[in-house]
Structure 1
Amino acid sequence: MGIVGCYLMPHPPIMVPEVGGDEVRKVNASIEAAHKVGMEIQKLKPDTIVLVSPHGPVFQDAVCIYDFPLRGSFASFGAPKLKLEFEPDEDLKEEIIKRAGKTRIPAVKSSSMHLSRYGIMEDLDHGVMVPLYFITRHTADFKLVPLAFGMLPYEDLYAFGKAIGEAAESLDKKVVVVASGDLSHRLLPGAPAGFDPEGKVFDEKLVSILERFDLDALYDLDQDLIERAGECGLRSIWIMLGTLDGREVKAEVLSYEGPFGVGYCVAAFHPEGKTESWLERLSKRRAEEIKIRRENEDPYVKLARESLETYVRTGKVLKVPDDLPEEMLEKRAGVFVSIKKRGQLRGCIGTFMPTKKNIAEEIIRNAISAGCEDPRFSPVEPEELPELVYSVDVLTKPEPVDSPDKLDPKKYGVIVKKGARTGLLLPDLEGVDTVEKQLEIALRKAGIRPDEDYEIFRFEVVRHH
């Protein structure tokens, strides 16, 4: 068997009549669509529902599968008598973890993470409870595998979804997958996450993409637009779509509304015939893009790449090549090396003042540090090297400024300093559009409170990528 149906469902507790009371009339379209999903699932008669929630134990580097008694209530939303409880599908859970491991996608059971250390209760969260409330109005004859997505690259989440689909097929189970998630939280003034006009743009684009089932367009969504939307469902969607990899799909958007400033979309995705794997097609596309990059990289980027590749493969520091441009051998400057993998940051380390005798040596040292010593990431492994994309920023000497009015996040990087505490942010970064945002991030990195008396410096960069 395998995946027999997939659904996107929102999770505002106000949709539940016992919680929302008279307010439910404002989300009537979502409620009717959610009941339609429940009726469809009743007809599909799945053995198991896999449900992806944004509100469970979400970790930076792994998908987390719930491994505690699957019960919960709406007590925290004023309806303590409304409770749900489900039987777990242990076989499917184990098979998913095994297959994810084979594809090097980190997946863990919640029992191995000691959730109490993170202040996480071992109860089903509302991201699980709200969709299942509507489904169980029509059928409760299924087992359950709930999980929380990780903050992984979208492609990795899609690959994890593919592992779910393969696990279902290997066990010959009929499985329905539900992506629990809301769209933009910034649709209206006074919305939960504040207002941003780009929230509506994001929702319109995403709903259109889902209706067309256009995975390429989804992958190419602008990251800044995603950030400004303040959504919580996109990663759930990526896992759900991955379960359909290699299948033709009939997609249907059942409803969309945003009466409280948050976008609620209900959609159905029905697998039909076989087709080419999107994951394989994406891999070919990326390989070609990186090949073109390698053929056109300038000496700065080439030196950064060769420095890290040499160190990761041999443990040796690359000697400065003799054929570099004169300015790389004779000039000194601070240098930042940034590394991305599949569009996500993989490491970034730099010096805002020169520490080596020339730019070339600065690049070599910082490329190795970015790939192997950035504390936010594990060291780069040899098999990752073909996928990495590099950029090199050569900094001008920082100059003090007496007012934030003299900053421009597109033109200038910023350094904030208070005693030994220092925070730096490069210019022209995705999602950093205002001086206020630039300073906020730099201060947070430095551990400096906004109300402290701190120094501000600005600098420019020449970016090579």
Structure 2
Amino acid sequence: MLVAAAVCPCPPLLVPEVASGAAPELDAARAACADALGVLAAARPDRLMIVGPDDRGGLYAQGTGGSFRGFGVDLAVRLGPAADAGPTTDTGPAGPGLPHSLAVAAWLLERCGWVEFPVEGVGVQDTLTPERCAALGRVIGAEDGRTALLVMGDGSACRTVKAPGYLDERAAPFDADAARALATADLAALTALDAGLARELKASGRAPWQVLAGAADGADLGGSLLYDDAPYGVGYLVASWS
């Protein structure tokens, strides 16, 4: 049963070391993420599931390592505590290391001192249809015990001419629709986000948000939008559902 969810953006620039400085323009986003994670902890879940965009897709066990070396920073992270408490590496117990979205999630969890609950990661590909995303979410939501979700993903990357995807006039309305849906825990509106348009706008959050919509079906959660801005021309949203 889903008892709480947090939605956070996943740019590696959230990590100050990757940003080559504090990147104060992201301080408000970092603070909002910490607040959202606090709501998850207060829900006293039996386990935490992290969902984020991932080119490979698949499951990532607790203890899986990741790093930001691909961004020029020798910083390693781990998905929750590892049983052997050995050094953190870029791989996991059952295969490859964390995609960058889950590595950012792991960094957020370490920063907030999340050590109490079992943690597992799920990577979702942007080729998954809304229906398949919702179906995956329903499987997660149907698990026994109290489940909390940390959902990673960005809005459009086309809000300004300097954005990674350049300026697209469809980007701001797309992000506004997503923000309204996340603010009100509107499952139908999240599920209705257009996958093709999201891909054109480079909105990596679409599939993870739709997994959340499936997981929250029947959970009767209310939503609150904690952050909505577009530094660097990319839509970043932080929301809390409880």
Q: What TM-score do the two structures reach when normalised by structure 2?
A: 0.84
1:154 aligns with 2:130: yes
Q: Which of 211, 225, 241 matches 1:253?
A: 225
Is the deviation greater in 181-190 or in 151-160?
151-160
Opposite residue 195 of structure 1, the aligned amino acid is: L
Structure with the greater alpha carbon radius of gyration: 1
Match of 2:118 in 1: 143
Cα 1:203–1:33, aligned 2, differ >3 Å: closer, same or farther? same
C-alpha contact (below 8 Å) 1:186/1:199 kept by paired residues: yes
1:74 aligns with 2:83: no
C-alpha contact (below 8 Å) 2:63/2:78 kept by paired residues: no
Rounded to whole Å, the distance in 1 between the matches of 2:75 and 2:164 is 27
Q: Alpha-carbon deviation of 1:205?
A: 1.5
Cα 1:237–1:43, aligned 2, differ >3 Å: closer, same or farther? same
Q: Which residues in structure 2 correspond to 1:110-129 (within 5 Å)?
A: 122-129=96-103
5+ unaligned residues in a row in structure 2: which ranges? 84-92
Cα 1:219–1:11, aligned 2, differ >3 Å: closer, same or farther? closer
Greater RCO structure (CA 8 Å; 6+ sep): 2
C-alpha contact (below 8 Å) 1:26/1:259 kept by paired residues: yes
Rounded to whole Å, the distance in 2 between the matches of 1:135 and 1:69 is 13
Secondary structure of the equivalent of 2:121?
strand
Q: Which residues in structure 2 correspond to 1:141-290 (within 5 Å)?
A: 141-150=116-125, 151-167=127-143, 169=144, 172=145, 174-222=146-194, 225-270=197-242
Match of 2:90 in 1: none
Rounded to whole Å, the distance in 2 between the matches of 1:88 and 1:147 is 17
Per-residue Cα deviation, 1:199-240 (whole angstroms, up to 9, x for no partner): 111111111122222233334445664344221111101111
Q: Which residues in structure 2 correspond to 1:254-333 (within 5 Å)?
A: 254-270=226-242
Rounded to whole Å, the distance in 2 between the matches of 1:131 and 1:228 is 25
Cα 1:189–1:206, aligned 2, differ >3 Å: closer, same or farther? same
C-alpha contact (below 8 Å) 1:49/1:143 kept by paired residues: yes
C-alpha contact (below 8 Å) 1:161/1:242 kept by paired residues: yes
Secondary structure of the equivalent of 1:260?
helix
C-alpha contact (below 8 Å) 1:52/1:178 kept by paired residues: yes
Q: Alpha-carbon deviation of 1:48?
A: 1.9
5+ unaligned residues in a row in structure 1: which ranges? 59-63, 90-109, 116-121, 271-465
Rounded to whole Å, the distance in 2 between the matches of 1:48 and 1:9 is 18
Rounded to whole Å, the distance in 2 between the matches of 1:68 and 1:84 is 8
Rounded to whole Å, the distance in 1 between the matches of 2:20 and 2:37 is 21
C-alpha contact (below 8 Å) 1:34/1:135 kept by paired residues: no
Secondary structure of the equivalent of 1:137?
helix
Rounded to whole Å, the distance in 2 between the matches of 1:52 and 1:32 is 20
C-alpha contact (below 8 Å) 1:253/1:267 kept by paired residues: yes
C-alpha contact (below 8 Å) 1:56/1:127 kept by paired residues: no
Q: Alpha-carbon deviation of 1:87?
A: 4.8
Secondary structure of the equivalent of 1:133?
helix
Rounded to whole Å, the distance in 1 between the matches of 2:197 and 2:156 is 10
Match of 2:39 in 1: 40
Secondary structure of the equivalent of 2:41?
helix
Match of 1:434 in 2: none
Cα 1:197–1:13, aligned 2, differ >3 Å: closer, same or farther? same
C-alpha contact (below 8 Å) 2:13/2:19 kept by paired residues: yes
Rounded to whole Å, the distance in 2 between the matches of 1:44 and 1:259 is 31
Opposite residue 211 of structure 2, the aligned amino acid is: I
CA RMSD of aligned residues (A): 2.5
Structure ranking higher in strand proportion: 1
Match of 2:30 in 1: 31
Cα 1:190–1:68, aligned 2, differ >3 Å: closer, same or farther? same
Give the total of aligned pairs. 231
Opposite residue 260 of structure 1, the aligned amino acid is: Y
